[in-house]
Chains A and B, each alone.
Chain A
Amino acid sequence: GENVEQHPSTLSVQEGDSAVIKCTYSDSASNYFPWYKQELGKRPQLIIDIRSNVGEKKDQRIAVTLNKTAKHFSLHITETQPEDSAVYFCAAFKDYKLSFGAGTTVTVRA
């Protein structure tokens, strides 16, 4: 089955700096890569996604890049703000199943 690895497990950044989270996947047939944000005690919510035929996608301060050849994808958050503090999960989709990374706890220091 699909194996998704996510790094780092924790990330502390100064407010206004950038945060980068990286994921790798094992199954080249995976074709869709969403990122979920989970605030403390809340449900995971989709923040951005990318399809396998696209290399980069941006939405305001958030961007995702995908390298299909290397089977890795990354989340970039620029100009971080305190409300960006949360756990972020990457995932890879194939057929009907999402395989998740272990999560990155991001803390934005004021």
Chain B
Amino acid sequence: GAGVSQSPSNKVTEKGKDVELRCDPISGHTALYWYRQSLGQGLEFLIYFQGNSAPDKSGLPSDRFSAERTGGSVSTLTIQRTQQEDSAVYLCASSLSPGGARYNEQFFGPGTRLTVL
């Protein structure tokens, strides 16, 4: 079946512009995560969506970052007034509901490489 997909695969933008990154999770996966991977760094948690619950936005680095998930499926990560330090690979992952102590594997998308000039 289809895995997690993300678009665009690459995005080059000028400092100060807004960008939108899209994630299509695996069908039936109620949990969706966004991560940021800077060069040579690990995966930094940004935001978590689970069903219709309020998202955990605790990882968003500033108020220029926002995300939404429409209809419990597709998610969009928006970065306003981009800065050069926003340059990174943005990864999306989805999983079955992780409820409590139960871990369900997170499946990652291919990522969007964002370059802010």
Interface set of A (CB-CB < 8 Å, partner B): 4, 6, 31-32, 34, 36, 42-46, 49, 51, 89, 93, 95-103
Query: What are 20 A-B pairs with beta-carbon distances under 8 A?
Result: A4-B42, A34-B105, A42-B110, A43-B4, A43-B109, A44-B43, A44-B108, A45-B108, A49-B103, A89-B43, A96-B50, A96-B98, A96-B99, A97-B45, A97-B48, A98-B43, A101-B42, A102-B40, A102-B41, A103-B42
Interface set of B (CB-CB < 8 Å, partner A): 4, 31, 33, 35, 40-45, 48, 50, 56, 91, 98-101, 103, 105-106, 108-111
Report Cα–Cα, A31/B99, bound state, in Å.
Answer: 13
Given contacts A32-B103, A43-B91, A44-B91, contact A95 B43 (CB under 8 A): no
A-B residue pair count with CB separations less than 8 angstroms:
56
Query: Cβ of A100: which chain B residues have Cβ within 8 Å of it?
Result: 35, 42-44
Known A44-B91, A102-B40; further 15 A-B contacts with Cβ < 8 A: A4-B42, A31-B101, A32-B101, A34-B105, A43-B91, A44-B43, A45-B108, A46-B105, A49-B103, A89-B42, A96-B48, A98-B43, A100-B35, A103-B41, A103-B42
